[in-house]
Structure 1
Amino acid sequence: MNSWFIPSNEGSGTVGSLRVRFLGLADYHKTWRAMRRFTDQRDSRSDDQLWLLEHPPVFTLGQAGRLEHVRSPGDIPVLQTDRGGQVTYHGPGQLVAYLLLDLRRAGIGVKRLVHLLEESVITLLAEQGIDASTRLGAPGVYVNSAKIASIGLRVRRGCCYHGIALNVDLDLEPFQRINPCGYPGLQVTRLIDLLPHLMPDLEREKIAVQLARMVADRLGLQFAQSQQQV
């Protein structure tokens, strides 16, 4: 399967822009370390960034995560992370969007940010003719009660990282090995099952760019494309 990749020209970012980086297939732990390093080293002049990528198969436990919700991981690794939430699965075919945002500079709180991220996904799906919604007390985006996108964040030094995981055409079987987001029996879905005509190898770039632009618009930031490795 092809990784998420869009060629682009480098440019210097400015405060008020959202530097969007397309990172392909990226190791989870390496990417997590890079997000933390970026957050620890950033200052008031640093760009806000959105990293678009996919991960090799991995289960991740959030800060509230309990191992009892990882029922039978098999050969898929399980990693404890510092994001909010319970357990989820990442794998090829899932668009992951990590938002590295200075919350203080943006003047936005975590709850409002989660709402804006959910709204970005809902609007993206609506443009494809898919009616999606949120659930009170269970962050993420749902279609007919099945979860299609998860959202989890971490705040550190007044800035956030982690973000959105949108199921495009990944294998859903690993979700059967866990209680997704800590809910036994929670159903999950993916874009390709809702849009049978979707050709992910040809359209994943379009989906990634659409999501990035929607996030930038809702944050009042200028979309600035980049191509750097973590």
Structure 2
Amino acid sequence: MRERPTLLIVRDLGLQPYEAVWEAMKTFTAERDGSVADELWCVQHSPVYTQGQAGKAEHILAPGDIPVVQADRGGQVTYHGPGQLVVYLMIDLPRAGLGVRQLVDIIEQSLVSVLGDQGITAAPRPDAPGVYVDGAKIASLGLRVRRGCSFHGLALNVDMDMEPFSRINPCGFSGLPMCQVRDFNATVSMPELADQLTNTLARALGHDAAGIVRPSVHQTAS
């Protein structure tokens, strides 16, 4: 059994085009081996619709000037834009002793915990991945696993223009209401949420605070 690295690297990529970060994730996953530490990437994307592997064209209603990218993650169509916190999880699952379902549970429960700390009561749904507040979706998730390693991750709506969600059937559900953190808590900041969420994910993945490294720049995805 491979020895588990003691460090978890958490990178803040800032605002980035989706496709550049997607290519960086694929390269990182293809080139890593058992000696490479797991990483979490925090990013906001320029406006884009991404369609998952099972995505159906009829769920993209009126994209207008927002590009549509056919991605290799699970799930259906969703929207990414500024003001949404995206966290990509590059995890060596066998080394971490996790299956995909367990990683999904970790993501969902970490989101529920962090939102609870902000006074927002949220919960996952058994029939549709993601996290919901009173029936409205506040966070989406979609993963891909290659060579035992995960990539892609979660998207938490924080303080964004929600109109583009009306041009799609979010996650393949017609009329699914969407919400964001700002609807319930107008004071929390994106950096604060990013720190809270990545720290919560790190603990759930078995890392303590001393093992989290936060470089200031990620050259590959820049």
TM-score category, normalised to shorter length: over 0.9
Residue among 89, 95, 100 paired with 2:90: 100
Question: In the alignment, which residue of structure 2 is the partner of 1:215?
Answer: 201
**Unpaired segments ≥5 residues, structure 1:** 1-13
Task: Name the TM-score, length of structure 2 as normaliser.
Answer: 0.94
The counterpart of 1:228, out of the listed 214, 217, 220, is: 217
Q: CA RMSD in A?
A: 1.0
SS class of match (1:226)? coil
**Residue 188 of structure 1: CA displacement?**
0.4
Contact 1:135 1:142 survives alignment (8 Å) = yes
Contact 1:133–1:143 (Cα < 8 Å) also in 2: yes
Query: Which residue is 2:143 aligned to?
Result: 153
Please report how far the alpha carbon of residue 158 of structure 1 lies from its aligned counterpart in structure 2 after TM superposition: 0.5
Alpha-carbon deviations, 1:182-225, whole Å to 9, x = none? Answer: 000000000001113x25xxx22111100000000000023221
Q: Which stretches in structure 2 are left out of the alignment for 5+ residues?
A: none
Q: How many residues align?
A: 213
Whole-angstrom CA distance in 2 between matches of 1:223 and 1:132: 27
Q: Paired residue for 1:38?
A: 28
The answer (yes or no) to whether the contact 1:22–1:227 under 8 Å persists in 2 is yes
- Equivalent pair of 1:212/1:223 in contact (CA under 8 Å): no
Name the residue aligned to 1:170.
160
Contact 1:148–1:189 (Cα < 8 Å) also in 2: yes
Identity, % of aligned pairs? 53
> Does the residue aligned with 1:189 lie in a helix, a strand or coil?
coil
CA distance in 2, matches of 1:206, 1:158: 31
Query: C-alpha displacement at 1:16, in angstroms?
Result: 2.5
**TM-score if structure 1 supplies the norm length?**
0.91
Structure 2 letter corresponding to 1:175: F
Structure 1 stretches of 4+ moved >4 Å: none
Residues 13-41 of structure 1: per-residue CA shift (max 9 Å, x gap):
x8132100000001100100000000000
Deviation per residue, 1:76-133 (Å, 9 max, x gap) = 0000000000000000000000000000100100011001000000000100111100
